[in-house]
């Protein structure tokens, strides 16, 4: 947080949660501090939203809101909280993608820490330069795989800043106890390397050995300075994401949102979808288009859920199919990671399909009664009309989740999916889309599988419960609580996930489920549900009254 932002939190001339008394107004007026009267927080929120709406583009709105965050952090969060559905796409996906692309161009003030490879011998010193002495949550990225737009170098800092804004808005984490970090190990983006205004280390990315040594040094610095912090890995490229998670998950309080958060929100949406479809997940054939860390993470959580529903591990894997840019993952391929190979099929299983080379997505849908089709490929339009109609011809309620971000990378548009399936498809997307129009004049909102349903609640849970680890069981508890909140469970015509207007309330329920699981697994001190609820309430920061009483 910069100096101005910190002072703004306690400046009554900028923000006051209740109306000023006549005496207060008169006193301030006599001091000549304002021409007539001091505005309340509510009045400033309305004024700020008017300014947001006057901006010409969503990028301009993003820039305005980020400037407001720098200038007056309490007002910034009050503005977001006043209209969560409108605010989310402006401060995060999809608008944040353009903010990352143009980061060096629109940069105004520093926020967070930039840890650069040339300074690798001084990471502890750099970490000690943070403005936030006590930190509950760090979000870190190396900028290599930002959303669906690739290597953005230091422009990737827009992601930790945006994520931590949502930790506060949704999860109630005190913004003064959050820290965005960018690991600047170079960039292979030629546009950035040639940009005279690029703010990062102007160098190609270091090789893997040097990279892992740098990450090791970073983790050691964090453990030394902030041993109890929650460390979230964000937008790391597939070759690094899984190995980093596996290397550190048992050493500190950490998780990868692209792998585990995406999986949890997708599984939460699937719980509602399979209930409406009337076919349990254990009886579904699931196809994933995209074999990156997010796609494999989703399938791993799906597999675990199938096992919980009664299948053996092998039976569950047999119902999971993965297709990447080359085609179906099969055991005879030599280009698969260990995580990918876990979902590869024996080539003998598909030998009778009559396909030359590796089967593609259309081949799988043609020969398998696919009930669930998920996309995390960034391949725009990959769910074609032919593929979707074939799928809809095999199952009564096809479940189709085009989850790639940003919007232009979605595998299909919900309106097309709805038309191709005669309104039978159960749909969730990764980016926001307009509602589906029905002949009766009703509009049906499209569920957005945004990780914001999960990670802020996880942050709230581990902070309140004083957890020491984030386990798979805790992430699946989050998915279960989200699935239980699906509006479709009570109304099959409703969206698969809760309204954005309700997401802050839903976060408390998810946080309780995660905290309860942490206690059950012995990674948090023993506590009853009532004690956990009280700790969650104490932890929550609200812009109307500021910092909460600390639970520890």
**Tens-digit pLDDT profile for the chain (552 aa)?**
333 333 333 343 434 444 445 555 555 455 555 555 567 889 999 999 999 999 999 999 999 999 999 999 999 999 999 999 999 999 998 899 999 999 999 998 889 999 999 999 999 999 999 988 899 999 999 999 998 789 999 999 999 999 999 999 999 999 999 999 999 999 999 999 999 999 999 999 999 999 999 999 999 999 999 999 999 999 999 899 999 999 999 999 999 999 999 999 999 999 999 999 999 999 999 999 999 989 999 999 999 999 999 999 999 999 999 999 999 999 999 999 999 999 999 999 999 999 999 999 999 999 999 999 999 999 999 999 999 999 999 999 999 999 998 888 999 999 999 999 999 999 999 988 999 988 777 888 999 999 999 999 999 999 999 999 999 999 999 999 999 999 999 988 899 999 999 999 999 999 999 999 999 999 999 999 999 999 999 999 988 755 555 544
Q: Does the residue 200 lie in any domain?
A: yes
SS3 333: coil
For 242, half-sphere exposure in the C-beta direction (CA atoms, 13 angstrom radius) is 16
> Annotated binding residue at 450?
yes
Confirm or deny that 258 is annotated as ligand binding: yes
Domain co-membership, 237 together with 294? no
Q: End of a domain among 256, 273, 292?
A: 256
Q: Answer yes or no: is 83 within a domain.
A: no
Does residue 441 share a domain with residue 418? yes
Q: Is residue 46 part of a domain?
A: no
Do 320 and 249 lie in one domain? The reply is no
DSSP single-letter state for residue 358: S
Task: Give the contacts of 16 (CB within 8 A, at least 6 positions apart).
Answer: 38, 39, 40, 41
In a domain, 16, yes or no: yes
Residues 6+ apart with CB under 8 A from 180: 111, 112, 113, 138, 139, 140, 157, 160, 161, 163, 164
Q: Are residues 411 and 486 in the same domain?
A: no
Q: Quick check: is 355 in a domain?
A: yes
- pTM confidence score: 0.88
Task: Return the half-sphere exposure (C-beta side, CA atoms, 13 A cut-off) of residue 490.
Answer: 6
Distance from the first to the final alpha carbon of the chain = 23
Q: Write the CATH number for 228.
A: 3.40.50.10380
How many angstroms separate the CA atoms of 181 and 219, rounded?
A: 12
Task: Tell me, yes or no, whether 314 and 443 share the same domain.
Answer: yes
The per-residue b/e assignment along 89-109, b for 16 or more CB within 10 angstroms, e otherwise, is: bbbbbbbbbbbbbbbbebbee
Residues labelled as active-site residues? 92, 163
Q: Based on the domain organization, do 284 and 267 belong to the same domain?
A: yes
d(C-alpha 254, C-alpha 236), whole Å: 14
- Residues 245 and 240: their CA atoms lie apart, in Å, by 9
Among the candidates 256, 271, 291, a domain finishes at: 256
Same domain for 286 and 356, yes or no, is yes
Per-residue DSSP letters for 26-65? HHHHHTTSSSS-PPPHHHHHHHHHHHHHHSSSHHHHHHHH
Give dist(CA 421, CA 368) in Å, integer.
18
208 in a structural domain: yes
* Domain extent for 156: 92-256
Both 341 and 368 in one domain: the answer is yes
Q: Is 476 annotated as a binding residue?
A: no
Model confidence pLDDT, tens digit, residues 121-177? 999 999 999 988 899 999 999 999 998 789 999 999 999 999 999 999 999 999 999
- 285-306 core/surface letters (b: 16 or more CB in 10 A; e: else): bbbbbbbbbbbbbbbbbbbbbb
What are the C-alpha distances in Å from 263 to residues 142, 242, 407, 535?
A: 21, 14, 19, 27
Q: Residues, the chain, total? A: 552
Query: Quick one: 443 and 469 in the same domain?
Result: no
For residue 439, CA distances in Å to 107, 172, 402, 443, 444 come to 47, 41, 24, 9, 11
Q: Are 401 and 269 in contact (CB under 8 A)?
A: yes
**Are 299 and 412 found together in one domain?**
yes
CB 143 within 8 A of CB 153: yes
* Structure tokens belonging to residue 523: 């990674």
Domain count, the chain: 4
Nearest residue to 155 (alpha-carbon basis) of 102, 211, 194, 83: 102
Last residue of a domain, one of 449, 478, 503: 449
Q: How far apart are CA 474 and CA 504, in angstroms?
A: 19
Residues 475, 417 within the same domain: no
Q: In terms of domains, do 508 and 416 share one?
A: no
The answer to whether 405 is annotated as binding is yes
Cα–Cα distance measured from residue 239 to residue 232, given in angstroms and rounded to the nearest whole number: 17
């Amino acid at each position: 947080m910069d100096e101005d932002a910190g002072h703004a939190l306690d400046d009554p001339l900028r923000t006051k949660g209740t109306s000023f008394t006549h005496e207060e107004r008169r006193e301030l007026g006599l001091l000549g501090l304002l021409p007539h009267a001091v505005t309340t927080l509510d009045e400033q929120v309305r004024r700020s939203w008017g300014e947001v709406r006057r901006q010409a583009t969503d990028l301009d709105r993003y820039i305005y809101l980020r400037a407001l965050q720098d200038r007056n952090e309490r007002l910034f969060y009050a503005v977001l909280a006043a209209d969560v559905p409108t605010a989310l796409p402006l401060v995060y996906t999809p608008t944040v993608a353009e903010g990352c692309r143009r980061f060096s161009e629109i940069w105004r003030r520093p926020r967070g820490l930039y840890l650069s490879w040339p300074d690798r011998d001084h990471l502890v010193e750099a970490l000690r330069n943070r403005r936030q002495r006590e930190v509950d949550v760090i979000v870190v990225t190396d900028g290599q795989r930002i959303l669906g737009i690739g290597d953005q170098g230091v422009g990737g800092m827009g992601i930790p800043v945006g994520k931590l804004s949502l930790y506060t808005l949704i999860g109630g984490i005190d913004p003064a106890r959050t820290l965005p970090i960018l690991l600047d190990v170079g960039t292979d983006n030629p546009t950035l390397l040639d940009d005279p205004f690029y703010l990062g280390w102007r160098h190609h990315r270091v090789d893997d050995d040097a990279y892992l040594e740098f990450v090791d040094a970073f983790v050691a610095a964090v453990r030394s300075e902030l041993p109890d912090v929650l460390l979230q890995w964000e937008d790391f490229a597939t070759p690094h994401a899984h190995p980093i998670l596996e290397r550190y998950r048992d050493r500190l309080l950490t998780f990868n949102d692209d792998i585990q958060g995406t999986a949890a929100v997708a599984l939460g949406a699937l719980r509602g979808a399979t209930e409406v479809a009337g076919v349990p997940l254990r009886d579904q054939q699931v196809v994933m288009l995209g074999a990156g860390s997010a796609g494999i993470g989703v399938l791993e959580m799906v597999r675990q859920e199938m096992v919980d529903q009664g299948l053996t591990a092998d039976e569950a894997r047999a119902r999971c199919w993965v297709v990447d840019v080359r085609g179906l993952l099969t055991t005879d391929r030599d280009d698969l990671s260990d995580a990918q190979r876990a979902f590869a099929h024996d080539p003998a299983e598909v030998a009778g399909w009559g396909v030359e080379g590796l089967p593609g997505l259309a081949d799988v849908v043609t020969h398998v009664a696919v009930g669930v089709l998920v996309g995390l490929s960034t391949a725009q339009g990959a769910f074609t009309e032919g593929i979707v109609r074939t799928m809809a011809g095999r199952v009564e309620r096809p479940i189709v989740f085009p989850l790639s971000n940003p919007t232009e990378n979605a595998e299909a548009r919900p309106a097309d999916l709805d038309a191709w399936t005669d309104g039978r498809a159960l749909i969730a997307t990764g980016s926001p889309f307009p509602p589906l129009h029905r002949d009766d004049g009703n509009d049906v909102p499209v569920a957005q599988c945004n990780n914001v349903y999960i990670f802020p609640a996880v942050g709230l849970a581990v902070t309140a419960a004083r957890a020491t680890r984030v386990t798979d069981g805790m992430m699946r508890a989050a998915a279960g609580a989200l699935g239980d909140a699906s509006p479709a469970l009570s109304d099959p015509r409703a969206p698969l996930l809760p309204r954005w207007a309700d997401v802050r309330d839903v976060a408390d329920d998810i946080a309780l489920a995660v905290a309860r699981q942490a206690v059950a697994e012995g990674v948090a001190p023993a506590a009853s549900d009532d004690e956990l609820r009280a700790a969650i309430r104490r932890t929550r920061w609200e812009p109307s009254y500021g910092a909460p009483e600390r639970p520890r």
